[in-house]
Each structure stands twice: as structure tokens, then as C-alpha cells.
Amino acid sequence: QIGAIYARLTKVEPEDFPALMDKFPQYGSGSIAWQFQSLIASRWAEIDPKGLKEFTEKQPRSMRWGLNSALYSNWAKRDPEAALANAVQLSSYQRRSAIGAIATSLAEESPQRALQIIGEYTTLDNSSQWVYQNLFAAWAKKDWDGAMAAAELIENPTARSAAMVGAMHDLIEKDPRAAIDWLDGQEPSGIFSQMRRELLNDIMEEDLSMVLDYISANGDPLTRNQILRNIHFGNLGWEKDFDELLGVMDWIGEVTTGETYSNKVDDILGAMAQADPDRAKAYAQQLPPGDSRTRAMGRIAQTMINNAGPEEALAFVATLEYDDERRRALQNMGW
């Protein structure tokens, strides 16, 4: 679909873009409609940036952010100084996205100029961290060493962490284990912890054993529990077979205890019910009465109502032996 619309966009005249953009709200707000709209805006910005700017100014605030990004990133490729002179006249809300788009567009060819623009025209706060991340991600694609060296020189710790995370994006794609080792070697930081958490969850779908080995190798139980609390096994039911998930269940009992153990068992049981509902029910029913079994019955009922429907899920609840199991199952189904 995207390829087809791109081919047609090369033949669209500037005066036809407004009608084309107005057409898209009727297709809803899903990802495909959003991608089409972004593609149209990017092409419009390439051939008629002033026309797109006039159109953007008439749109609701919720639409301006994305349109400004497309407008100024493409405008900057043709005439960065003109794009910048125009962007600084915008309101603060629009100016931030426009400046970020310009800087990211310049990052590969003129990274120092892009960094200068960010420092001069933006105020650092939590919402502007993405500007540093995008800029340094683009910079690192052509010059990883230079991007990382420049990131380390940034004085503001929040901006420095965001820049270093951006520079790491390319390494994450090429060698995720090396990226984790690098993150572990940095000073404690919220953004580094978040990045490690997201990276481990992403790797798990492709290389589950690597993540399990990494966690097992951490000798500090408190650190291990902290890492485990942010690992989500629930989606593995789509990727792994039941026997592999049984192995993960046994592994959980070896590396953690207490509340973390109970929460992760709950998580894995959901994946097991996703992978093979019948075997998951048989597994849960042979567990001794207690918290783990109660959680298991709740997870299975929740998965069944999603996949098989309420009638089959309620029939399963009727077979449960204990009141607390039935209450947990109904509660999970209600969610």
C-alpha cells in the first residue's frame, strides 16, 4: 500500500495536496492512515513547503505536530537556514517539534550545526530528550565514535544521557549484547535503566536464552530482582512452544523468590495459556492449592475469554474447585 501511494505521489501537483490530505480523516486514526498522511506531507514539503505550511496553520493543534515534523525536516534538506528562520517564529509548542525536525535532518551531514541549533533554540526538559536521541541516532549512523565523543561532552546530565542513548541505537541493532554490556558500564541513570529494560524485552523474542543467561549471571539477588521485575514474559506465547515456556517456569524458581517470583509465574502462565490452553489447564490443575495455582486459574480464564469467548471461559470457571480460584478467574475475565 505504501509503495503504491508513493508511486502516485510523484505525479501529484502542488494544488492537489490539500484535497488529498483532507481525504484521510475518513480512514480513521490507525497506523496505516497515519503513515499515509505522513508520506503525503513529506512529499508535499519536498515540492511546496510554503503550501504545506499554510495548510498546517489551519489544522487542529493535534495535527500540527506531525505535519510540522514532515514540513521542516524536508525543508531543511533544501534550505536549512530558511527553514530555521521560519521555525523560530512559531509558537513554543510548534517551535519545539520544528526545531527538532530541522536538527535531525541536518544530523548526518552537519551534526555540529544540528547540535548548535538545539542548544540555541530549545529549552531542555523531559519532552525534548527525544530531540537529542534522534539527532545522535542519525549522527552515529555515519560516525559512531564522533557522535559518542560529542555526547560525552554535553554538560547537562539529562541531555548527555539522551544523546548517548541515541548514539547507541545503531549498536543495539547490530550487537545487542555489546549494547547491554555498555549500558551496564555506565553510571546509574534513569534513561539508561529504561533503555536496558526495553532492550532486554526486545531481545527476548529473538534470543530468550541470552536474556535468561544474562540475568542468571548477576550475582546480586536485589539487582537480579530489579531486572526481573521489568521483564515481561506474557507475549512469549506467540513466539515459543509450551515446553520451552515450562523451562522458563523452572528457571524462575531458581533465580528469584517472593513477590517477584509470584508476578513472573503469573506472567509466564499467561504465555503458556496462549501457547497451548489445554496443556496450561492441565499444568495449573496439578499445582498444589495456594497463590500460584490461584493466579494460574485467573490467567487461564483471562486468556480464554480473549481467545475462545465468554461461554467457554465461564464453563472453565465452573470446573474450579475453590471459591478463591473462581473469584480470581472472574475478576481477570472482567478486566
Which pLDDT tens digit goes with each residue over 265-280? Answer: 888 888 888 888 889 8
- 54 vs 32: which has the higher pLDDT: 54
Q: Give the CA distances from residue 223 to residues 186, 195, 215, in Å, rounded to whole numbers and listed in that order.
A: 15, 16, 9
Q: Helices 111-121 and 129-142 meet at what angle, rounded to 10?
A: 170
Q: What is the pLDDT of residue 25?
A: 59
DSSP string for residues in 238-284? GTS-HHHHHHHHHHHHHH--HHHHHHHHHHHHHHHHHH-HHHHHHHH
CB 312, CB 319: distance < 8 Å: no
187-212 pLDDT, tens digit per residue, is 777 777 887 888 888 888 778 888 99
What is the distance in angstroms between the CA of the first residue and the CA of the last residue of the chain?
36
Q: How many whole angstroms separate alpha carbon 298 and alpha carbon 335?
A: 11
DSSP letter (8 states) at residue 289: S
CB 44, CB 37: distance < 8 Å: no
Task: Write down the pTM of the prediction.
Answer: 0.59
Q: How many whole angstroms separate alpha carbon 176 and alpha carbon 160?
A: 21
